[in-house]
Structure 1
Amino acid sequence: MDEHCICQFVIFGSTGDLASKKLLPALYHLKCAGRLPPEMRIIAFGRRPWNDKAWQEFLKEQLEHYAEGFTADHFADFCTHFHYVEGEIHDPAAYQKLRKILTPKGSTEPDPSIFYLAIRPADFVPVVQQLSAAGFNKEADTRIVIEKPFGDDLESAMQLNEQLHRHFKEEQIYRIDHYLGKEIVQNLLVFRFANLPIEAIWNRNYIDHVQITVAESGGIENRAGYYDQAGALRDMVQNHLMQILTLVAMEPPPSLEADALRDEKVKVLRSIRPIPKSAVHAHALRAQYGPGVIEEQHVPGYADEAGVAKNSVTETFVAAKFYIDNWRWRGVPFYLRTGKRLPAKTSSVAIRFRHTPQQLFRETPIERIEPNWILLSLEPESLKIEIYVKEPGLEMRVRPVQLNASYRRDGEEELDAYEALLLDVMEGDKALFIRFDEVEWAWRVVDPIIKAWGREVDYIITYPAGSWGPDEATRIMDKEDQYWRNQI
């Protein structure tokens, strides 16, 4: 491992949904793959009155349910890394107990550690304050990992950042967005910058528009308390979709070092044209799922979900349009779309090129040749280019074919996004983590929409669960021949 690798890992919220579904399985898979340092100590911090044995029973139950390839032998080996610490996050005595565990014998100061805050956002600041009061911020290599959301608007994000910086330096703060850990997202950078013919056409002269879609077939599950306050715009657009947009639109960085990469992403966000108050409805649409059918199962509408107010106007679907006012992208619309209870769980970038400048086939049975597409699917993984070829036969007819540029060969294992990002945290690589100015400018982009929708509390359009959202979602598109690309 790298000499900067940190081998003490503390999980706050170790019994919560995020830890059970994502974090603990990712650590388990790293152990099975031989990627976890043998000396790694993992401290599960929780308020339940458990000892190590009780924790291991809980851990086994979660991994049997959420970790692929679970075996008793691997689990027994995995357990040797763990120690459970009981404590309340607001109790200073619990942090002193933690400090004692993390301080090696013969030393008065704890070794550098990773503190993963898999907790609700309201508890970020109290935990950071307690860690600082216990002296964990003195070691420069100590790292704090924070999950989204980073605030719920621009003002709250600025306040959260100010509180964090009172106790820890920016270099110590790792804001995680698991979409950036997906290999296909990183492959987008290689696809763009390692292939000269692609980079040559990646601009307003050839590209008609860009679509970024993150669709979920599931509902809100047991997250009503959070989701009904946040909605799809805050939960998905401000972070996941904006991050993908920056990778599609950024200029080539001078290197792939963390700050060089993030500098280019910030330039994109700063170049996004502000949306005037009077134009919000022309640029963005929100909707909420009603009753419908998903995978042949009838599901309730959002307002009928447990914990959701009957008169809620929280959006579960967003379609929005943005323009990037720079030399490369001026005039090219970027359409972003996300929603729950859609027909499939999929994430994709669909890039449509302009029409050919001359219609050569007017005198043939060809009615019209559609523009070409580049289709990048993040989930499931694929990378395709759609072109047209002549159909066999005497008549001049064409059909679309897809050139599959998917990179994974048979037998090559996929590294989960969380697994990749956890390794980066341990080794101190911040390239795929979010700097605060990225957070700030992403909030600046969506804040006009948040404020406009915050005044509209009486009505929201609905769409049936199992559909691709409301028909009105096409109204934000610039041209009649533009349409949402649902199938990749």
Structure 2
Amino acid sequence: MTLQQPPQALPCHFVIFGATGDLAALKLLPALYRLDVGGHLPAGMSIIALGRRPWSEADWLQHLEESIRRRTGEQFNARVYRRFAARFAYVAGDLHDPAIYQTLSDRLCADQSCAHAAFYLSLKPSDFGEVIQRLEQAGLNRPRGLHRIVVEKPFGEDIDSARQLNRLLHDAFDEEQIYRIDHYLGKETVQNLLVFRFANTLIEPLWNRNYIDHVQISVAEQAGVSTRADYYDKAGALRDMLQNHLLQLLTLVAMEPPPALEADALRDEKVKVLRSIRPIEDQVINAHAFRAQYGPGSIDGVPVPGYQDEAGVAPHSIAETFVAAKFYVDNWRWRGVPFYLRTGKRLAQQLSLVAIRFRHPPQQLFRETPLEFIEPNWVLLSLQPSESMHIELHSKQPGLGMDTRIIRLDASYRRGREKTLEAYETLLLDIMEGDRSLFLRFDEVEWAWRVVDPILRHWTRQRDFIHTYPAGSWGPLEADRLFDKLEQSWRNQL
């Protein structure tokens, strides 16, 4: 998503810390390959992969090819892959060892034509601070203002640690060099939400408390913790998903039109939304937030273990794998409209959905007909498994009676064989081009932590019990207690 940005030099080197990890194999390497297929990578750009595994260059290239083939399938292009693989150099070593940073410095300095680099920290959040400090100690942040550094979410584990991490970053880099990434902002449907709202006079006049009953934002995953138990058991669903992905979606749904389509103007409006979210007092936390953990069950008919039985999970862990929360945005547009956010692992299906439910018509015109109760209208924005937008309306069924059926207006922006652009492709290209529009400014991060910190502190004091739900379900029934009205319920499908 290219907004109005001043031209900047493209990096000659792209450095991936944690290149042998899952994120790199599943997302970063395939995205870089697809950018190369499309001719978007600078011709002379090298990619330096740093990892702990004691691999040779041949071992790394085998891993690279397997990762690319697994994610591209029949679209694998051997000619482009050879060009892509030739960009790589592999550096093995421990991130805590200063020698690896000296090796990296030597490799960058060996290129006399360009030393401009982008450092991507595809690491556990607990490693961010040390890597940033060691980059500075090795002089890899100099000259100041030249390089770029990309930090994955979550940015900190609470508001205090987020501020500390931000100070470390600013000690070594300028704000214009820092890219705090949230890959949900790179999804085309998320970007299309801005167009859907602000380019259509049909929609924007209805987008307020006068017409909208409530908003639901759901991100459901069928997968369990897999190999991420070491991280996930310390983070939980609130830190891993709600504080970043879901709150970012909330800001895009609720924000005012920015005065211009520029990076800071867009982020200013998002911060205003976060600042307007009503603080949750400690005594009412349980009425606004609910957590649970998946137990044994089945996914698509295949038995799966409960969270407590997953490899790497601490005994008697109370890390939440499901969280639901209710927020109010106390501004002129949204006062009194609840925003229900929900995310969880081992749920019934893979689903990322923004569902906006409209109010009932003010007049009971059909009370003496079969339409005594009319289902409300919905606007549905699907991010997964399909990228689409739908509006649900009522239409009379053919015949003598006054019966209706729901008709769906499909506002999908993809036609025919138009290809899906992966979120990381968009974001990696933006990093290279110096476009920070889809990346987080620190005040966004800080205000998001302010929103969830009361919930975190409350749950920290409750260490002896957590609700459970069977894997393969839609989560615990107790989450329904968040709804303001009996007629409100979770929207689980398009």
TM-score by structure 1 length? 0.97
Quote the Cα distance in structure 2 between the aligned partners of 1:172 and 1:473: 41
Query: 1:40 and 1:151 mapped to 2: Cα distance?
Result: 31
1:479 offset after TM fit, Å?
Answer: 0.7
CA change 1:47–1:364 in 2 (3 A) is closer
Q: Give the direction of change, closer, same or farther, for the CA distance of 1:291–1:48 in structure 2 (3 Å limit).
A: closer
Distance in 2 of aligned mates of 1:48 and 1:342? 34
Q: What are the superposed Cα offsets for residues 204-231 of structure 1, whole Å, 9 maximum, x if unpaired?
A: 0110100000000111111111111111
In structure 2, how many angstroms separate the alpha carbons of the residues matched to 1:392 and 1:398? Answer: 9
Q: Is 1:416 matched up with 2:445?
A: no
User: Structure 1 residue 48 and structure 2 residue 53: aligned?
Assistant: yes
Paired with 2:264 and 2:381, the residues of 1 have a C-alpha distance of 26
1:454 lines up with 2:456 in the alignment:
no
- Pick one of 278, 289, 310 that aligns with 1:284: 289
- Counterpart code for 2:251: T
Please tell me the residue identity of whatever aligns with 1:119: L
Distance 1:164 1:450 in 2: 25
Residues 147 and 177 of structure 2 are in contact (CA less than 8 Å); yes or no, is this contact kept in structure 1?
Answer: yes
2:55 match: secondary structure? coil
Aligned positions of 1:67-466 closer than 5 A: 67-68=72-73, 69-103=75-109, 111-139=115-143, 140-379=145-384, 380-466=386-472
| Stretch deviating more after TM superposition (44-53 or 370-379) | 44-53
Percent identity reads 64
Moved more, 56-65 or 468-477: 56-65
How much does 1:344 deviate? 0.8
Query: Using the alignment, how far apart are the partners of 2:54 and 2:346 within structure 1?
Result: 38
2:67 is the alignment partner of 1:62:
yes
1:411 is displaced (CA, Å) by: 1.3
In 2, Cα distance between equivalents of 1:122 and 1:313: 20
Q: How has the CA–CA distance of structure 1 residues 54 and 372 changed in structure 2, closer, same or farther, with 3 Å as cutoff?
A: same
Structure 1 CA distance for aligned equivalents of residues 200 and 151 of structure 2: 35
Q: In structure 2, how many angstroms separate the alpha carbons of the residues matched to 1:475 and 1:273?
A: 19
User: Could you say if the C-alpha distance between residues 3 and 262 of structure 1 is closer, same or farther in structure 2, counting changes exceeding 3 Å?
Assistant: closer
Deviation at 1:29, TM superposition (A): 1.1
TM-superposed CA distance for 1:362, in Å, is 1.5
**Alignment partner, residue 42 of structure 2:** 37
Greater displacement, 473-482 / 53-62: 53-62
Q: 1:296, CA displacement in angstroms?
A: 0.8
Tell me, yes or no, if the aligned pair for 2:12 and 2:115 is still in contact at 8 Å.
no
> Once the 2 structures are TM-superposed, how far is the Cα of residue 52 of structure 1 from its aligned partner?
2.6
| CA distance in structure 1 between the aligned counterparts of 2:16 and 2:202, rounded to whole angstroms | 46
Q: Which moves more between the two structures, 31-40 or 433-442?
A: 31-40
User: Distance between the aligned counterparts of 1:226 and 1:96, measured in 2?
Assistant: 28
Amino acid at match of 1:174: Y
Report the CA distance between 1:170 and its aligned residue.
Answer: 1.4
Are the aligned partners of 1:318 and 1:339 in contact in 2 as well (CA < 8 Å)? yes
- 1:426 is displaced (CA, Å) by 0.1
CA distances 1:6-41 after superposition (whole Å, capped 9, x unpaired): 231011111111111111111111111222221111
Residue deviations 1:200-257, cap 9 Å, x none? 1100011010000000011111111111111111110000000000000000001121
Note closer, same or farther for the CA distance 1:97–1:311 as it changes in structure 2 (3 Å cut): closer
- Residues in 2 aligned to 1:3 and 1:309: alpha-carbon distance in whole angstroms: 47
Shift of 1:129: 1.4
Answer yes or no: is the 8 Å Cα contact 1:256–1:431 preserved in 2: no
Deviation at 1:106, TM superposition (A): 5.3
Q: Which runs of 5+ in 1 are unaligned?
A: none
- What CA deviation, in whole Å up to 9, does each residue of 1:120-148 have, x standing for no partner? 11221221112112222223131000101
CA distance in 2: counterparts of 1:37 and 1:17, whole angstroms: 25
Q: Measure the CA separation in 1 of the matches of 2:327 and 2:165.
A: 27
Match among 18, 22, 39 for residue 23 of structure 2: 18
Does structure 2 conserve the Cα–Cα contact (< 8 Å) formed by 1:215 and 1:346? yes
After TM superposition, the structure 1 stretch with the greater mean CA deviation from structure 2, 320-329 or 309-318, is: 309-318
TM-score by length of 2: 0.96
SS of residue paired to 1:67:
helix
> Does the 8 Å CA contact 2:10/2:116 hold for their aligned counterparts?
no
Partner of 2:202: helix, strand, or coil?
A: helix
- The Cα shift of 1:105 comes to 5.4
Deviation by residue 1:95-132 (Cα, 9 ceiling, x = unmatched): 2222222125558xx61210001111122122111211
Cα distance in 2 between the residues matched to 1:65 and 1:295:
22
Unaligned runs of 5+ in 2: none
**Counterpart of 2:32 in 1: which secondary structure?**
helix
- SS of the equivalent of 1:11 reads strand
Q: Is the 8 A contact 1:44 1:85 kept in 2?
A: yes
Q: CA deviation at 1:74?
A: 2.7
Q: Answer yes or no: is the 8 Å Cα contact 1:28–1:67 preserved in 2.
A: no
* Aligned 8 A contact 2:329 2:337 in 1: yes
Deviations 1:409-457 (A, max 9, x none): 0111111000000000000000000111111000000011111111111
How far is 1:3 from its partner?
Answer: 4.9
Q: 2:225 and 2:89 mapped to 1: Cα distance?
A: 32
Look up the equivalent residue of 2:17 and give its one-letter code: F
Alignment-mate amino acid for residue 180 of structure 2 = R
